[in-house]
Amino acid sequence: MLLRLWPEETKVAFMSFRMIAVILSVSALLASAALLATRGLNLGIDFAGGSVIEIVEPEGVTPGDVREIVETAGITGDIVINSARSTGENATDLEVIRFKTQEPREGENAEAAQQNANNRVRAALTEALGDPNLSAEEAEEALIRSSAAVGPKVSGELLQAGITALVTALALMMVYISFRFQWQYAVGAVAALFHDVILTTGIFSLTGFEFNLATIAALLTIVGYSMNDTVIVFDRVREEARKYKKLELSKVVDLAVNATMSRTLLTSGTTLLALLSIFLFGGDVLRGMSFGLIFGVIVGTYSSIFVASAVLLFLGIDRGDKPKREVEGFTGV
């Protein structure tokens, strides 16, 4: 027996709710813009600069003890200590240490200052927590699992590259949809993508989840997922518009959405199950990215129905000169 999350041959008038959906979407977009303007984003080390060091969790040592050791290395500003666990057969408990960009000391440039701060913290951790029976180099290798320092110049370049990748993806998709369908479809699809990206960015501002390169990857994934959903609906809209040439466009869209709803819900549902598992069990490193993807899949499913289709209805489409037909259950022929 096939699993169906949506009954067959339904005739739900989705487009009758489009004005309510437009009001909700515009309100959410304005709220997101206000949050980004007032609260901004909790930029991660990738974009704000700083260091992240992962160490094997020493027995009997608390995060407070680790913070004190880091402070003895001359680190100023917020120092964040998170517990995590590595994956694989030899999984171990870890302490993840993060601190933002440090002010250069005399004779240092910004990039060198951050790398030197990173080296001082590594040395202090090894001295305080390393195995005394090993050499300094061996003790550091056994204690510190990974270490990375990002200066302000590099972080700025990474942010610019991430934004460029996002804008380029949107532009290329708009060109593809214009050739694949009509320009009206392209405008509707890209409007839905902007909607999804802005709302997802806004929710990161609201929740305070770290915004880093993994988040950019999540946004690009959301763009691809939302576009896929929208193309499936639009492809069915084009097919139904050619078959039922005199049927009102809003009812043509209703036909298309009803026909694709089962597939949409099944795809979104299985994707959300996988993402929820990552969010719950993937650890702190993946929590922000998985949260963004969960929110983006939900918003992307909504926008492919109500945002993209509402824009398409507003712009209208060229329906060609195909034979006129009627469909049972819909009026307007």
Per run of 10 residues, the mean pLDDT along the chain (length 333 residues) is: 57 85 93 93 78 84 86 82 71 80 75 83 88 85 82 68 82 81 85 92 91 86 88 87 82 87 85 90 81 93 89 78 51 47
pLDDT of residue 2: 47
pLDDT of residue 319: 64
- CB-based contacts of 203, cutoff 8 Å, min separation 6: 32, 292, 295
14-44+154-315 matches 50-150 in fold? no
Q: In 10 A of CB 24, how many CB atoms?
A: 13
Q: 3-class secondary structure for 262-283? A: HHHHHHHHHHHHHHHHHHHHCC
Residue 219 CA to residue 295 CA, distance in Å, equals 10
CATH 1.20.1640.10 fits 14-44+154-315, yes or no: yes
pTM of this structure: 0.74
pLDDT of residue 1: 41
Residue 212 CA to residue 42 CA, distance in Å, equals 9
Residue 292 CA to residue 39 CA, distance in Å, equals 18
CATH topology of domain 50-150: Alpha-Beta Plaits (3.30.70)
Sort strands 210-211 and 93-100 into parallel, antiparallel or unpaired.
unpaired
Nearest-CA neighbor of 308 among 165, 171, 174, 190?
A: 190
- Spans of all domains in the chain: 14-44+154-315, 50-150
- CB-based contacts of 106, cutoff 8 Å, min separation 6: none
pLDDT of residue 254: 87
